[in-house]
């Protein structure tokens, strides 16, 4: 049964995703691969101007399949909806008015997602993300598009957004490509927390916000408001110290560098770990690393972790360990089968949660 208040409100960029898969073993591709690796931080995310993005699409056209709807927060809310059709979900963001971008409105309508503050930026192309996969490793190249209008939209509608968002159980925030968006978002979230102290905010900074954390006070303020921060190993090292290998290394870095009160959910190829702000390892779920040859779709798997974990934590009497197990199993299915795996998300989710209740 749906509740009156939102279970999860996702806030983030809305992008059209282009997926390029390049066979590094093919002789004719080696020059292209070398050129790409020289231009971008491999395995991470790089924002570029629209003209450069268009040139990349032209160069990689033979390797790009069909486009799809994307964005980190969108991927998370998509996973949560696939897991549980009864969750009351909402989204806040900005889309362009191209034919591709109108697919977001169609998807939100079909899947019963509340979107009173998804703004359509007239005459503007949507944000876009090119995911380049080589040997199972994914690199993102992004361009802002309509996401550049987000900060102004947040400022214009702030009181109304607060009235809608404050009653949510979770607000999940991911990085915007609009540099001004964090500063516009902070007072909205702070007011929501004052109105509803039970509200929990999660932040998935991605590589762009992780890189800007040290110099952008608004991003640091978002971290201060968060109850939970999702990071992968690269982002963790950007934020709190490099050379991390073992849980003891992560604990050491958190103890010496982390100044917030949030829990930290670390996503790695070998498993998921949940740390407290005091650096204590709360729980972990280890899994066998997936071979590159088994990965069919690395784009968005980390976002699926976020959506699945939040969906699990909304269930009654679920432990963090069970939520980690559910998120791990569903993300692994996404890596191996992409969106085709969504049909089995509910079964994987139920299986993981049931296992946590079995007597030992």
DSSP H or E segment with residue 11? strand 8-11
* pLDDT (0 to 100) of residue 1: 34
* pLDDT (0 to 100) of residue 136: 65
| DSSP conformation class of 64 | B
| DSSP conformation class of 108 | H
The structure's pTM equals 0.91
Instruction: Give the three-state DSSP class for 297.
Output: coil
Q: 263-268 and 68-70 as β-strands: parallel, antiparallel, unpaired?
A: unpaired
Taking CA 255 as the corner, what is the angle to CA 250 and CA 259, rounded to the nearest 5 degrees? Answer: 115
Classify 206 in phi/psi space as left (phi over 0), alpha (psi -120 to 50) or beta. left
Residue ranges of domains in the chain, CATH in brackets:
8-16+71-124+145-356 (3.40.1190.20)
| DSSP conformation class of 269 | T
Q: From CA 330, how far away is CA 142, in angstroms rounded? A: 26
Segment-wise mean pLDDT, segments of 10 residues, the chain, 360 residues = 76 92 58 65 79 86 87 96 97 90 93 95 89 78 89 95 97 90 97 97 94 94 97 93 83 89 94 94 92 80 96 94 96 90 95 73
Phi, psi of 286 (to 5 degrees): -95, 145
């Amino acid at each position: 049964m749906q509740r009156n208040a939102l279970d999860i409100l996702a806030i983030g960029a809305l992008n059209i995703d282009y997926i390029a898969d390049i066979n590094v073993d093919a002789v004719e591709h080696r020059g292209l691969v070398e050129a790409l690796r020289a231009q971008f931080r491999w395995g991470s995310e790089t924002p570029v101007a629209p003209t450069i993005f268009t040139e990349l699409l032209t160069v990689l056209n033979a390797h790009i399949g069909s486009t799809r709807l994307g964005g980190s927060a969108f991927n998370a809310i998509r996973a949560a909806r696939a897991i549980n059709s009864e969750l009351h979900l909402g989204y806040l963001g900005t889309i362009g008015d191209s034919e591709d971008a109108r697919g977001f409105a169609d998807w939100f309508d079909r899947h019963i997602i509340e979107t009173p503050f998804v703004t359509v930026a007239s005459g503007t192309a949507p944000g876009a993300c090119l995911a380049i996969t080589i040997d199972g490793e994914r690199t993102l190249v992004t361009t802002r598009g309509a996401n550049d209008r987000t900060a102004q939209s947040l400022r214009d509608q702030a009181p109304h957004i607060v009235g809608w968002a404050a009653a949510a159980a979770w607000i999940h925030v991911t990085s915007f490509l609009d540099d001004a968006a964090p500063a516009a978002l902070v007072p909205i979230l702070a007011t929501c927390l004052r109105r509803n102290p039970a509200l929990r905010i999660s932040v998935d900074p991605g590589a762009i916000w992780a890189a800007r954390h040290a110099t952008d006070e608004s991003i640091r303020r978002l971290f201060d408001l968060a109850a939970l921060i999702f990071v992968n190993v690269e982002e963790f090292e950007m934020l709190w110290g490099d050379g991390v290998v073992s849980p003891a290394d992560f604990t050491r870095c958190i103890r010496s560098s982390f100044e917030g009160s949030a829990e930290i959910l670390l996503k790695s190829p070998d498993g998921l770990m949940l740390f407290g702000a005091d650096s204590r390892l709360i729980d972990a779920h280890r899994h066998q690393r997936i071979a590159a040859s088994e990965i069919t779709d690395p784009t968005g798997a980390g976002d699926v972790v976020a959506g699945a974990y939040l969906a699990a934590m909304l269930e009654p009497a679920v432990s963090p360990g069970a939520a980690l197990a559910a998120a791990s199993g569903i993300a692994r299915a996404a890596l191996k089968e992409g969106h085709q795996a969504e049909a089995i998300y509910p079964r994987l989710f139920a299986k993981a949660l049931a296992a946590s209740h079995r007597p030992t």
